[in-house]
Structures are given as C-alpha cells and as structure tokens.
Amino acid sequence: MYAVELSDDGQIVTLISEAGARTRFHAIWLRDNAWDAETRSAGNGQRLIALRDIPVDLKVENARLEGAALRLHFQPEAKSIEYDLGWLMAHSYDSGAEPAAGWLSPDITPWDSGLMTGIPLVDFNKAQADGEALRDWLVQMRTYGFGKMAGGPVEPEALLKVAALFGYVRETNYGKYFEVRTEVNPTNLAYTGLGLQAHTDNPYRDPVPTVQILYCLENSAEGGENMVVDGFAAALRLKAENPAWFEVLSSHCARFEYAGEKGVCLRARRPMIELSADGELIGVRFNNRSTAAITDVPFDQMETYYAAYRRFGEIIDDPAMEVTFKLTPGECFLVDNTRVLHARKGYSGAGSRWLQGCYADKDGLLSTLASLETQTLEAAE
Ligand code: FE2
C-alpha cells in the first residue's frame, strides 16, 4: 500500500511506499498521461489532445488513493482522473542519477566469442508454423543482434520468406536482394578469395539498413566462413581500455560515401560509435571500404581520433571477440546492422559459394516481437 502527498502549489504528487520510498510525479506529466476517454482513444490508445489543450496554469487540487488507484482532481479544468498505481510505478522517472555515457538498454546483452557455443538458432519451418518458436528466436535477435536460421528451402529468393516472418524487405539501389556469388576457379587451386574485415553494411545510408539477412544456397569452397562481432561489446571494451578514445569516436562524426555505380552517390555523416542524447549506446558504423575523408574532427583532436579508430579496429579484429560459423545450403544468418559487424573469411579451392543477401528493418522485427510477447501475456492471464 502507498500513501500520497500533494505539494502546496499542486504541482507535485508523491507516492510513498510502505518502506518509505518516495516517487514524485509532476502535475503536467500526470495530466498529459491521463487515460480518460477525452484524452486517449479507447480504440487505438492514441492521444486525442495536444499539449496546447492543457491549461498552462494547471494544478492538482486534490489527490487521494482508492484501492489500487490514484484519483486526482485537476483545476482549472475541474477534471477528475484515475490512475492505476501499477502503471504509474512502472513508468516512474524519479530515479535520480543520470546514467553514464555508453549505457545499454536492459534488452541488450553484449557478447564475445563465448557466444559460439550458444548461437541463437531456429528451424525455418518451425519459425513459420510456431509463434512461440519465432518469438523465442526474435528475443535472442533483440538480445544479441544476431541469429541463425536452418532448414530453409534451397532455392533462390528463399531469403524473402525469412524477412516475411517478421517484417519487410528494404529495397535499395542494390535491388530487393543481391547476389554474393563467387565461382572459384578449379584450375587455380592456389587462388584465395579475399577475406573482408568485419564491417557494418551501408554506413553511407541514413538511416542504415537495420537488419541484414545473408542466405546460403551453395557453399562447397574451402574456407569462406562467416564471422560476426558485437560492435557494442567492442565499443564498451574500447571505453574500458581508454575512455578518451571512446569519447572521441562517439562525439565526432565520421563520413561515409558510396558512388560506385552510375546515378548513385550516397553520403552520410555519423559517428562510428553513436550515442543517444542521454548517452545510450545505439549504433556502430564501421566499414573501411566506404569511410570517406573525415573532416569533422578538430585539428588538435585528429591524432587522438586516429589512435582511437585504429584501436577500435584492432578490438574488432581480435579473435576473442568473434563468433565464426560456416553456412550450409538452406541456412542463413541475420544481424542487427546498427550493432553487429559481419565478415567473410578467405576461401580457396574448387567449388562454389553462392549467398543471397537482403535488408530488412529492425522496427518491424521489434514490432512483431512485442506483439508476440503481448499475445503470450494475454494468453497467460
Ligand atoms: Fe557486408
């Protein structure tokens, strides 16, 4: 049970727990978050009023508890509104300390090569037929920004069926999907397909494609493993090693550009380590091939910037950070392209390697997941 206190000016309502913990709410915040039928649509939950509809001289005239509800009477509207105490406490903002730069959403778990023994995996047919299996796998996609799917059809465009499980393909100048195909010349067994440094795709777009799917149709060449690295774990390792280097990469924009085909000139200006306004780690862009001249770092910080950039790359290249796997036909992997870097190891020998890739969006993935989670909660009630 709680007790309630109202400030003399009617601007602050405080809930006091039995243990004495005090949680404050502002009158304007409470009024804006009212759930009565005049404030919120009962059908879709959308707010029906704008802030301008709330009087600027608003105050709470009276506050009292009624069981599990808080009833407030607002003036000058003469409006009485009931709040669910559970909802209020779940949405309280009176926690005190501001988090340090580089904090992570509680939904996210950083990882390193230790994830090799627990790669998130689901069977394609199961994910299609069983909402719970799809939900459990999407939870891991949200947690780790990476997941594998096995047992899919070995046919071109199968990756579009994977995207349809949770969202929509993002079409780009590379098309709805693109081919990653190399015939290794069997008469030249010494030939080695070049490995690629781990990178995020298309950092020259704004926004970047937020999910990438790479789907295997043939993979008989020697080598050619895929590997992934958690960019958030790499950024946090950089911060632990040298906070100034984390700061220089997160507080200055790099520039990225792609103009490799006629009629295309894509450019973006974003930091390699991106933080939200309140310091949440929200993105990593890292791609040696498409980094343009960096011109937004002050002269006297450029040396520090390059030292940080070099070390960030070394951390990304460290085998202790990477999860490696080889795809067989009908398997694919997905990455959160705002977080997880991917790479291809070198390959050689006879055989062929044929993957198809496409982009999709994380908002669709998270929406599908949240909706599946809500269904689970409702079923449990
Ligand atoms: Fe790539």
pLDDT tens-digit readout, 321-348: 999 999 999 999 999 999 999 998 877 7
Tell me what the mean pLDDT of segment 81-92 comes to: 96
pLDDT for residue 135 is more than 70? yes
Tell me the two tokens of residue 135: 């939900």
Q: Cα of 200 to ligand 1 centre, how many Å?
A: 6
In the reported structure, the alpha carbon of residue 196 is separated from the centroid of ligand 1 by a whole-number distance in angstroms of 8
pLDDT score of 191: 42
**DSSP codes joined into one string, 209-220:** PSEEEEEEEEE-
Mean pLDDT, the chain, as a whole number?
94
State the distance from the centre of ligand 1 to the C-alpha of 185, rounded, in angstroms: 23
Please tell me the distance from the alpha carbon of residue 72 to that of residue 13, in angstroms, as a whole number. Answer: 9
Distance (Å) from CA 14 to ligand 1 centroid:
52
Strands 3-6, 273-275: pairing kind: unpaired
CA-to-CA distance for 141 and 161, rounded, in angstroms? Answer: 17
pLDDT tens for residues 206-223? 999 999 999 999 998 888
The pLDDT value recorded for residue 183 is 62
Measure CA 156 to chain center: 28
Backbone angles phi, psi at 14, to 5 degrees: -120, 130
Over the stretch 266-282, which tens digit does the pLDDT of each residue have? 999 999 999 999 999 99
Q: Which domains does the chain have, with CATH numbers?
A: 2-90 (3.30.2020.30), 113-372 (3.60.130.10)
CA 18 to centroid of ligand 1, rounded, Å: 55
User: How far does residue 211's CA lie from ligand 1's centre (Å)?
Assistant: 11
Residue 111: per-residue pLDDT: 98
Q: How far is the CA of 296 from the centre of ligand 1 (A)?
A: 25
What's the CA-to-centroid distance between 76 and ligand 1, angstroms?
59
- pLDDT at position 223, please? 81
Look at residues 256, 298, 295 and name the one whose alpha carbon lies nearest to residue 274.
256
Neighbouring C-alpha atoms within 13 Å toward the C-beta of 378: 6
State in Å: Cα 201 to ligand 1 middle.
5
Expressed in angstroms and rounded, the spacing between residue 29 Cα and the centre of ligand 1 is 44
Rounded mean pLDDT, 99-121: 96
What sign does the dihedral 114-120-121-124 (CA atoms) show? Answer: negative
CA of 176 to the centre of ligand 1 (A): 15
* Whether pLDDT at 350 is above 50: yes
Q: What is the pLDDT of residue 189?
A: 43
234 CA to centre of ligand 1 in angstroms: 18
Quote the ligand 1 centre to 198 CA distance (angstroms). Answer: 8
What's the pLDDT band for 379 if we cut at 50, 70, 90?
confident
CA 356 – ligand 1 centroid, Å: 11
Q: What is the pLDDT of residues 218-251, one digit of tens each?
A: 998 888 889 999 999 999 999 999 999 999 999 9
**% of the chain at pLDDT higher than 90:** 86
pTM assigned to the model? 0.92
What band does 349 get if pLDDT is binned at 50, 70 and 90? low
CA pair distance 381, 378, nearest whole angstrom? 5
Distance between Cα 360 and ligand 1 center (Å): 14
Ligand 1 centroid, distance to 16 Cα (angstroms)? 53
d(CA 347, ligand 1 centre) in Å: 16
State the distance from the centre of ligand 1 to the C-alpha of 237, rounded, in angstroms: 23
* pLDDT digit string, tens, across residues 170-213: 999 999 999 988 765 544 444 446 677 899 999 999 999 999 99
- 341 CA distance to ligand 1 middle (Å): 8
Q: Which of 96, 148, 97 is nearest to 121 (CA)?
A: 148
